[in-house]
Every structure is written in structure tokens, then in C-alpha cells.
Amino acid sequence: MRPFVIIIKNSHEIKKMREAGKLAAQLLNYIEPYVRAGVSTQYLNDCCKEFTKKHGAKSAPLHYNGFPKSICTSINDVVCHGIPSEKEILKDGDIVNIDVTVILDGYHGDTSRTFMIGNVSEEVKKLVNHTEKSLYRGIEAVKPGKYLYEVGKAIEKYIFKFGYSIVRDFGGHGIGKEFHEDPFVFHHFTVKNKIRMKEGMTFTIEPMINMGKSDAVNISMLDGWTVRTADGSPSAQFEHTVLVMSEGVEILTKI
């Protein structure tokens, strides 16, 4: 078994993480106007790939554990890891999570947002907006000396009042030279995250919130990646890469 190691970043590494985070944030901003009805997720993939390359970076998802594309595009009941495709065309009323990760000078920046296409139902709009809010509640709970489970606790406290459920099988993660480092970050309260946060830690927070009561997900046998809600209910997600600071937290994937 791989040993559990949380890599604390030094000031040089933090500088690199800031640069990678900023580029990932710029990439999401760049793609936003293209995320419209009638566009294929393959087209979004190609635009992101090109932008990343132009800025001297690499798309981390491409060939990561065999993932075939440069970004993840997860529509409606797809929880995460949706694979962009020429055949998949965004349509009015859809929600789509675009998850981008860049590698700049050896360091990763990972961020995602759920975009709404045209006229999205009020119910689904609320799911998306509450999911984004829950990410910020989680981020606000980051503080050196506190337990990491405070992040999940804050998300839970916010999200359960709407009757939504939190996906448990996928979570946030340490990030740095590696795409996925320790620790695994749960988005609900669990003693498995009884780990003290420390200045210099970098990890992602990326709650996946399902509208349905059921939080079960199943991995499609078709492509080996696409994760859907078991009950077909819509799922939303937002992600930032954060740095634990001496006094609190810095969002690295922000411009």
C-alpha cells in the first residue's frame, strides 16, 4: 500500500501553485462564452486544449489513468468524469460541469464550475446556486490547526437543509506536482478526515451535490469513466484549489 503523505509546499512551490491555479481560472473564464446551446462538448475540449497549450501548459486529464480527453464535461445526471464527445450537443435547459486541470511548470491547478444553458428550471437553478455556495462554506472552514473534517461539516450543514445529498465516493484531494495527492477530502463530516490542516497544504474542495435523496452513483460500464446519479436526478459541482495560510485560506484558482 502507498504510504499516506501530505506534501507541505514551500514558498517556491507555492509560487508555482499560484501560477498554475491562475491559469486554470483563466481557462474557465475563457471557455465560459463558448458554453452555449448547440455546441458539442468535443468543441469545448478542443478550445481548452488549445488555450492551455498556447499558455505553455498541459491538460492534466489527457491520458491520466487512460482518460481520453483534455477536460471533463458532466451534463445533468452525470456527477463527474464525463468524456467530451462530438455527439454530445449542449441544449437549452441543460447544466454542464466543466472541470479543467492544467500542469504549468510541473504544478497542477484544478477548478470547475457548473454552467447553465439557456432556460434552466427554477429547481435546477437552485441546485446549482446552492452547490456553489456550499463550496464557499467549505473554503471558509479552512484554517491551520483545525481538523480537515470541518470542511465537510460546513458543506453538510449548508446543503442538507435543502434535501439534497452529497456524493461520498468521490472527493477533493491534495494537489501539487501530482494531480491527486493525499489527503482525500470528504465533502461530508467523517472522522476519516481527522487530520489537522497546516500552513502550506494545498488541496481541492469540489462538492458534488445531487438533487435526489439518493447519493448512490454508478460507474458506466460503457466507457469506464462517466459517473451518474443512481436515480437519474441532476447533480452539480464546483471546485477550487486552495492553500492553507497562516491565518486562513487562499483560493489559488481565482484571478
- Interaction with ligand MF3 in 148-177: which residues (CB under 6 A)? 173
Q: Which does 94 bind (CB under 5 to 8 A by kind): Co ion, ligand MF3, none?
A: none
Give min distance, CB of 11 to ligand MF3, in A. 25
Dist. CA 58–CA 131, nearest whole Å: 28
Out of 52, 76, 204, 229, point to the residue binding Co ion (CB under 5 A).
Answer: 204
Phi, psi of 159 (to 5 degrees): -85, -30
Q: Which does 61 bind (CB under 5 to 8 A by kind): ligand MF3, Co ion, none?
A: ligand MF3
Give min distance, CB of 186 to ligand MF3, in A. 14
> In terms of Cα–Cα distance, which of 28, 182, 198 is closest to 101?
28
Out of 156, 181, 239, 250, point to the residue binding ligand MF3 (CB under 6 A).
Answer: 239
Choice between 30 and 162, CB closer to ligand MF3 = 30
Q: Is 20 an interacting residue with respect to ligand MF3 (CB under 6 A)?
A: no
User: CB under 5 A: which stretch of 60-68, 84-92, 138-146, 197-205 binds Co ion?
Assistant: 197-205
Strand duo 249-251 + 165-166: pairing: unpaired
Q: How far is CA 204 from CA 139, 169, 186, 252, in A?
A: 9, 15, 10, 10
Site string for ligand MF3, 80-119 (x = CB under 6 A): -x-----------------x-x--------x---------
Choice between 88 and 206, CB closer to ligand MF3 = 206
Q: Is 61 an interacting residue with respect to ligand MF3 (CB under 6 A)?
A: yes
Give min distance, CB of 161 to ligand MF3, in A. 26
Site string for ligand MF3, 202-231 (x = CB under 6 A): --x-x-------------------------
Count of residues of this chain found to bind ligand MF3 when the rule CB under 6 A is applied: 13
- Interaction with Co ion in 89-118: which residues (CB under 5 A)? 99, 110, 112
Can you spell out the DSSP letters for the chain? -----PPPP-HHHHHHHHHHHHHHHHHHHHHGGG--TT-BHHHHHHHHHHHHHHTT-EESSTTGGG--SSSEEEETTEEE-PPP-TT-B--TT-EEEEEEEEEETTEEEEEEEEEE-SS--HHHHHHHHHHHHHHHHHHHT--TTSBTHHHHHHHHHHHGGGT-EE--SS-EEE-SSSSSEEEEE-SS--GGG--B--TT-EEEE--EEESSS---EEE-TTTS--EEETT---EEE-BEEEEE-SSSEEESS--
Q: Which residues bind Co ion (CB under 5 A)?
A: 99, 110, 112, 204, 239
Q: Which residues bind ligand MF3 (CB under 6 A)?
A: 61, 64-65, 67, 72, 81, 99, 101, 110, 173, 204, 206, 239
